[in-house]
Amino acid sequence: MTGVTSHRQRTVRRPELVGLGVLATVGVGLIAIAAEWITGVGATVIAIFLLAALVSVVWTAFVGGLDARRALAPYGLLKPGMLWLCLFFIAPLWSMLEMSLSSKKSRFDFLPSFTWEWGNFQKALTDFAPQFGRSFGYAAAATLLTLAIGYPIAYVIAFRGGRFRSLLLGLVAVPFFTSYLIRTIAWQSLLSDRGPIVGTIDKLGLNAPLEWLHIMNNGRLMNTPAAVIGGLTYNFLPFMILPIYVSLEKVDVKLVDAAMDLYSTVSQAFRRVVFPMSLPGVFAGSLLVFIPAAGDFVNAQFLGSPETTMIGNSIQNQFLVQLNYPLASAMSLVLMAVITASVLVYARFMGTEDIA
Amino acid sequence: MSTRQKTSESQSPRYSRREFLIRSGVVGVGAVSLPAILSACGGGGGSSQATNTLYFENWPGYMDSETVALFKKETGIDFTYTEKFNDNNEYFAKVQPLLAKGKTIKPDLVAPTYWMAARWIQLGWAQKIEMEAIPNAKNLRKDLKSPSWDKNNEYQLPYQTGIAGIAYNASITGRELKSVEDLFDPAFKGQIGMLTEMRDTVGLIAMANGIKLSEISSFDQVASAFDKLEAAKKDGQIRSFTGNDYMDDLSAGNFAACVAWSGDVLQLQAENPDIKFVIPEEGGTSWYDTMLLVEGSQHGEQAAKWMDYIYDPVNAARITATVQYISPVDGVRDELVKLGGETAKLAESPLLFPSDEEIARLQSWGALSETEEAKFDERFATIIGA
């Protein structure tokens, strides 16, 4: 009993406030250093101060005894993740926000000054509206196509794969052994005017319907919107198959049997039992395809034409050729904002409330 | 959380899991912030002393390795040769943070293309080279001497040169092409390629409009060429704007004709004899990559030795035999013949040694001011869709 009393006597008041306070201070301090608000001697002082703050937590933990340690623990566990986010997510994002509201005195001015330049956002939205439109349109089309192609594949692997399951899954991932760029460039030769695909289409006489569907343009597939969407679909297909497979694999086949026992048809069993249970996979797959596809510039560059460029191409051009960092930052932020908003809407719609 | 668990925890040895996590978290954060502190304390530092070294950052696949080894052996200079200069604009963006703040970069010599070299010189990122220490500089081809942005030849020597003209696939065009106007022939609708290198694409069209490239100083002078390009893109005459990858489109037959670089076509012809290259009758652009001494480099003496070495026609010929670009050094042709065998055949190539009459048709751009160049780049970006 005496041991417990002595612990109580050493208890520090409100240790959880110490934990929270230090977490917040260190977080803000790290952001300040990484975003270069404070540089040189100031940064050194701040860094030393942050170390001291952390030492004070340890001191609190030691002196405060068990209760203090218990109260501090959640903050200790939060610390690695939170500080990582501060340093590598919030600080860069803040720098980008600051840059997007800055203006340059001249083209080669490397350090644009912060001037609340809202014009950057206006320019991003007006001058690059077609590119934004194409990015989201192409990404949405690619997402639907990957879903249409990927769902049956995942279904077959999960339910009919048998002992070949692992092999089939491995085959889905095989394209990743080759570089993304090489895979895209390979499509150039497959789709070229004298390539195998256009040749087959010619032989089958499918030119006219494909032209009518606007998939072909003047007898060619390369450098059309269809080629860009096709490239995106091909490149991101595994990101759709794998999550759907994971959620389908967990579905107990007996549930389908049970549905059939209750006089449901095969399609009813699928629609009302299997499909709803695979929705988390569909949701994850859609995000994994849509988000990178909207920001992609490789497919538009190698398979597209001047009329099919996406926002990624424009951002790259603004950063590297025009050296217009403020405008490029504004464009990136608009892209992020639209993607975040559409993901939230989508999450609401899909009923996955953990995200929204 | 049952009571039993609590008691078992209080009885655990001195290092509970919780404590361990707290401590490792502290150590982890310390490790993260320590380098920041150190770098903040360190300041600039690291000024390189004048050692007997030289660092040359060049374009990929652009050097003969024997020449590098021989140079090291003959001069005893510790020579570092890398191939990380991949793109003029990207490289500029990469080094700007250091050079704009007055710090220097690791390489002593870099290889920007002539218009980018002009920009480096304007910005004060290059230093003068001691030309007296380079006796072989006298071998520089006459047409490359005294560009408008380096009138006295103080800052740079060309490394390799090339020509932008028209390449076409004779099996598709079914006829010989001679003029830039052929690129706008409606018969080739959707089968024309252009380069994303603004100066080559717009340069050819401007010359066809009778504009002299070296006299261009403002955007308005060339606005007509941009309009023509934009109109051709809008009605689908131009299929795409490419970098080096136009070579695939040309040999696969996607392009009937395109704006192209002479050196690439030389390689393509080996596989596909239907591919032809022509310097348009209105004129072709001449481009060259320079060797530029970076401001702040302490190795001007070694750099001069290197330039002198590769301006010796014997060494220049060895490089030409490997990289197959047009050499800026006079006398290379005779040296190639002396080497004999397959190499001697290169001396006959009209793409490596254009006739004087063809060279007379070549033009290159002068320096553009910061604001004017921005107008050119922006308009061109809108046309190529970026």
What value of ipTM does the predicted structure carry? 0.81
Last residue of a domain, one of A36, A66, A100: A100
Last residue of a domain, one of A70, A100, A130: A100
Q: What angle do CA A89, A94, A99 make, to 5 degrees?
A: 130
Residue A76's pLDDT band, with cuts at 50, 70 and 90, is confident
- Non-local CB neighbours of A52 within 8 Å, separated by 6+ positions: none
Q: For chain B, how far is it from start to end, CA to CA, in angstroms?
A: 59
Last residue of a domain, one of A68, A100, A132: A100
Shortest distance, CA B133 to any CA of chain A (angstroms): 33
Cα–chain center distance at B269: 23
Within this chain, do residues A140 and A203 fall inside the same structural domain, yes or no?
yes
**Mean per-residue pLDDT for B280-300?**
95
Do residues B51 and B29 lie in contact, with contact meaning Cβ atoms separated by under 8 Å? no
- Non-local CB neighbours of B213 within 8 Å, separated by 6+ positions: B203, B206, B207, B285, B363, B364, B365, B366
Residue A243 lies in a domain: yes
Residue A81, CA distances (Å) to A15, A56, A75, A254, B21 in order:
20, 20, 10, 41, 13
| pLDDT tens readout for residues B78-87 | 999 999 998 8
- Nearest of A296, A252, A292, A295 to residue A274 by alpha carbon: A252
**Mean per-residue pLDDT for A292-309?**
94
Instruction: In whole angstroms, give the CA distance from residue B220 to residue B229.
Output: 15
Residue B10 pLDDT greater than 70, yes or no? no
Within this chain, do residues A45 and A163 fall inside the same structural domain, yes or no?
no
| pLDDT tens readout for residues B229-255 | 999 999 999 999 998 889 888 988 899
Residue A189 lies in a domain: yes
Within this chain, do residues A182 and A88 fall inside the same structural domain, yes or no?
no
Within this chain, do residues A297 and A180 fall inside the same structural domain, yes or no?
yes
Instruction: In whole angstroms, give the CA distance from residue A21 to residue A24.
Output: 5
How much of chain A, in percent, has pLDDT values that exceed 90? 60
B241 vs A222: CB contact, 8 Å cut-off? no
Place of tokens 């644009």: A112
Within this chain, do residues A174 and A313 fall inside the same structural domain, yes or no?
yes
Residue A244 lies in a domain: yes
Within this chain, do residues A39 and A164 fall inside the same structural domain, yes or no?
no
A307 vs B10: CB contact, 8 Å cut-off? no
Sign (positive/negative) of CA torsion A43, A46, A52, A57?
negative
Within this chain, do residues A259 and A181 fall inside the same structural domain, yes or no?
yes
Looking at chain A from residue 42 to 101, which residues have their Cβ under 8 Å from any Cβ of chain B?
43-44, 47-48, 50-51, 54-55, 57-58, 61, 66, 69-70, 72-73, 76-77, 79-80, 83, 87
Residue A335 lies in a domain: yes
Partner residue facing B33 (CB), from A51, A76, A106: A51
Within this chain, do residues A184 and A71 fall inside the same structural domain, yes or no?
no
Residue A105 lies in a domain: no
Chain B residue at shortest CA distance from A301: B242
Instruction: In whole angstroms, give the CA distance from residue B152 to residue B90.
Output: 29
Structurally, chain A folds into a number of domains equal to 2
CA dihedral A271, A272, A274, A279 (to 10 degrees): 90
Query: What SS3 state is found at B260?
Result: strand
Do residues A347 and A353 lie in contact, with contact meaning Cβ atoms separated by under 8 Å? yes
B254 vs A192: CB contact, 8 Å cut-off? yes
Residue B132 pLDDT greater than 60, yes or no? yes
Residue A294's pLDDT band, with cuts at 50, 70 and 90, is very high
Structural domains in chain B, CATH included, are 53-160+287-351 (3.40.190.10), 162-286+366-384 (3.40.190.10)
Instruction: In whole angstroms, give the CA distance from residue A232 to residue A139.
Output: 8
Write out the DSSP string of A33-68.
HHTTSS-THHHHHHHHHHHHHHHHHHHHHHHHHHHH
B252 vs A321: CB contact, 8 Å cut-off? no
Q: What is the per-residue pLDDT for A260?
A: 92
Q: What is the mean pLDDT of chain B?
A: 86
Q: Tell me whether strands B284-293 and B109-110 are parallel, antiparallel or unpaired.
A: antiparallel
- Give the tokens for residue B323: 């990289």
Residue B364 pLDDT greater than 60, yes or no? yes
Residue B47 pLDDT greater than 80, yes or no? no
Partner residue facing A194 (CB), from B22, B92, B253: B253
Residue A16 or residue A252, greater confidence: A252
pTM value?
A: 0.82
Residue A265 lies in a domain: yes
A73 vs B21: CB contact, 8 Å cut-off? yes
Partner residue facing B21 (CB), from A66, A76, A87: A76
Could you tell me the CATH number of the domain that includes residue A169?
1.10.3720.10
Within this chain, do residues A92 and A125 fall inside the same structural domain, yes or no?
no
Residue A171 lies in a domain: yes
Count of A–B CB contacts within 8 Å?
A: 144
Q: What is the per-residue pLDDT for A242?
A: 95
B26 vs A323: CB contact, 8 Å cut-off? no
Instruction: In whole angstroms, give the CA distance from residue A169 to residue A330.
Output: 40
| pLDDT tens readout for residues A85-118 | 998 999 999 999 999 999 988 888 888 889 999 9
Q: What is the per-residue pLDDT for A352?
A: 59
Within this chain, do residues A17 and A137 fall inside the same structural domain, yes or no?
no
A70 vs B373: CB contact, 8 Å cut-off? no
Within this chain, do residues A79 and A210 fall inside the same structural domain, yes or no?
no
How much of chain A, in percent, has pLDDT values that exceed 70? 95
Within this chain, do residues A146 and A53 fall inside the same structural domain, yes or no?
no
Which residue range is the domain that position A172 belongs to?
A: 119-350
Which segment of A236-250, B207-221, B257-271 scores lowest on mean pLDDT? B257-271
Residue A110 lies in a domain: no
